[in-house]
Structure formats: structure tokens, C-alpha cells
Amino acid sequence: MILVTGATGFIGRSVMAWLEREGIAVRAYQGRMNDPITLREELVGVTAVIHLAGSEAQGRDRLLHHVDVDGSARLVEEARRAGVQRLVFASRLGADPASMHPLLQAKGQVERIIQRSGIPYTILRTATLYGRNDRFFELIVGLAIWSWPFVWLPGGGNMGMQPLWVEDFVHCLVQTLRRSDLIDKTISVAGSEQLPYATLVQYLLNVAGYRRIPLPVPMLLLRPLTPILFHWWYWPAVSRYFMDRFFVPEIADHDAVYRQFGFRPARIRDTISYLRRSGLALRLLRR
Ligand SMILES: NC(=O)c1ccc[n+]([C@@H]2O[C@H](COP(=O)([O-])OP(=O)(O)OC[C@H]3O[C@@H](n4cnc5c(N)ncnc54)[C@H](OP(=O)(O)O)[C@@H]3O)[C@@H](O)[C@H]2O)c1
């Protein structure tokens, strides 16, 4: 029996669908991360945990500590007590307990808790994922729609991006469960294409059918501008951690997925037809 935390989230929904398709016994964790009683009850009979619960989308440092770090510590404690034999965690490229970026710092702290837990674990550090209802490509298009006639390009859009399709990441997660050679490993994965942010944005806007004038924004202005913009423009889908990727590159070997998991990630152009959906602008505003 596999327990999935964060099963209702962007990655979690794909994981649940994938495991159910494969006929694997799976249960979505129903409680809150810091609730030891529910954790204890739901871990009964569980052999593996896929840990996806996280507060990244809320964009609040306080929640990162409460939900991600303390919540993961609580989960580890209860999982050890329940005799769980495998813990798989979705982390981020750039995770580091000493990072100056709160999200990457929290991810680094959670990684350390898991690595020291004594439970056989695998940590998959990934670049940002995209797919239907993501908070990446849809967000880039959404920001461009609402900043007419411009599209912002932090640092001139030179930062390299290597996005990974969510279904490919879930494929890696599910394979990890069956692979004893990946026990106690921390593995980096990313898409097979590495391209500058400006090129990616142009490509996404073409597919979504929008034209915008590129507006380079100096990195020096980005830090002070971000809280002002995101405070004024309250849009839960836009977490202020979105900007971290312009400071810390999300890059891995271009064949990382192939070497570790034996398949090549999908190409961006084959997996972004969801950006052509009519009504995307309104839906993004409502989200
Ligand atoms: N998406 C990416 O590109 C990406 C890349 C690398 C790593 N990750 C990490 O992977 C994990 C999942 O990402 P995602 O994109 O699927 O995030 P998401 O869509 O925001 O989903 C987060 C999930 O966590 C649950 N959650 C939040 N607070 C909780 C709490 N206090 N107790 C229990 N559950 C709670 C949410 O459930 P409720 O809605 O019910 O609160 C939801 O199911 C996160 O830790 C994220 O940092 C994501």
C-alpha cells in the first residue's frame, strides 16, 4: 500500500491517476501534515510514501517552515514508527539548507531530515514541471496577457530553463518505487531541452496565440519589484518563489532522465497544446 501526501495537487493528481492505472494499491493522505494522530492512523499498513504535500504555492515563508519542514519531520517520525520501507520525495534543483532563497532552503532542510531518517529513501530533485493546470507555462502566458503590450524578461531573458513535463516526472517517481538500486540516492532530473527564458516565452506565446513586446527587466530591480507586484496583485497562483529560478539555474544533465530511468522526456512542442485552450486568460484570472 502506497500513501501519497499532497495527492490533490498538480503532481499528486497525476501520481494518483498513474498508480490507479497500473492497479497499484494507493491511498491519498487526507489529513494535515502536522497532525500526528491522522498521520499515525493513515500510515497503518503502508509500505511506501510518496511525499508531495507542500506549501510552495502559498508563497509564505512561515508556511514553508510549518508545513514543509516541520510537517515532513512529523511525517518521517510517524513513518519510522509505522515501519514504512520507502520514502520518495519531490525536491527542487538548487535545494540547499544554506540557500538564501526560502523555498530552496526549506527543500534542503526537508532533504536533510529525510536523509537522516533511517528510512530507505529516494529524493528526486527536479526542474520546474509543466502540464495542464501548471503554475509555470500557464503562468508565463497569464503574466504576458495581463501585462499587455509587454512581456517581462527578467535579466533580459538569458537564464537557461530546462522544464520537465509532469507526466515524465511522475513516470520517474513511479519507477523509483520499484527500483532498489535508487535507495538512499538523491537524483537530479530535468527536461531534454535547455533554452533561454526569452526563447521559451516567445515559443509559449506563439502557441497560445499572443504577441507581446519583450521588456527586459534588470535583475537588480527584480528583487525589490517582486514583493511590490505580488502584494498589489494578489493572485494565489503566482507564488513569489516563482522568481527564484531567475537567480538559481534549474539545470541538470540533458540526458539525466534517460541515464537514470531509461526513457527520453517529451519535447516541449509535443506537450503544450493545453496552452491553446480558449478562455485561458479568464480562467487564469479566476484561479
Ligand atoms: N510543481 C513543480 O514544478 C515542482 C517542482 C519541484 C518540486 N515540487 C514540489 O512537489 C510538491 C508538490 O508540488 P505541486 O506542484 O503538486 O504542488 P501543489 O499543486 O501546490 O500541491 C500541494 C499539495 O500539498 C497539499 N498541502 C498543502 N499544505 C498542506 C498541509 N498543511 N497538510 C497536508 N497537505 C497539504 C495540498 O493539499 P490542499 O490543497 O488540500 O492543502 C496539495 O495537495 C511540493 O512540495 C513542491 O514544492 C514541485
Q: What's the one-letter identity of residue 183? A: I
Please give the Cα distance from 49 to 198 (Å, whole number).
38
Percentage of the residues of the chain whose pLDDT score is greater than 70: 93
Per-residue pLDDT at 281 exceeds 70: no
pLDDT in tens, 64-100: 999 999 999 999 999 999 999 999 999 999 999 999 9
Mutation pick for ligand 1 pocket among 8, 113, 251 (CB with most ligand atoms within 8 Å): 8
Please give the Cα distance from 193 to 160 (Å, whole number).
10
Ligand 1 pocket, CB under 6 A: 6-12, 32-33, 52-57, 67, 71, 90, 92, 126, 128-129
Mutation pick for ligand 1 pocket among 3, 10, 51, 91 (CB with most ligand atoms within 8 Å): 10
How many helical (H) and strand (E) elements, i.e. helices and strands, does the chain have?
A: 11, 12
Q: Which residues contact 191 (CB under 8 A, 6 or more apart)?
A: 127, 162, 163, 164, 165, 168, 257, 265, 268
pLDDT in tens, 99-137: 999 999 999 999 999 999 999 999 999 999 999 999 899
Indicate which CATH number applies to the domain containing 166. 3.40.50.720
- Is the distance from CB of 270 to CB of 264 less than 8 angstroms? no
Instruction: Looking at the CA of residue 5, tell me the nearest atom of ligand 1.
Output: 34
Place of cell 533561454: 196
Place of cell 503502508: 46
Q: How many domains does the chain have?
A: 1
Please give the Cα distance from 183 to 82 (Å, whole number).
19
Confirm whether pTM is higher than 0.85. Answer: yes
* Domain with 30 in it: 2-286
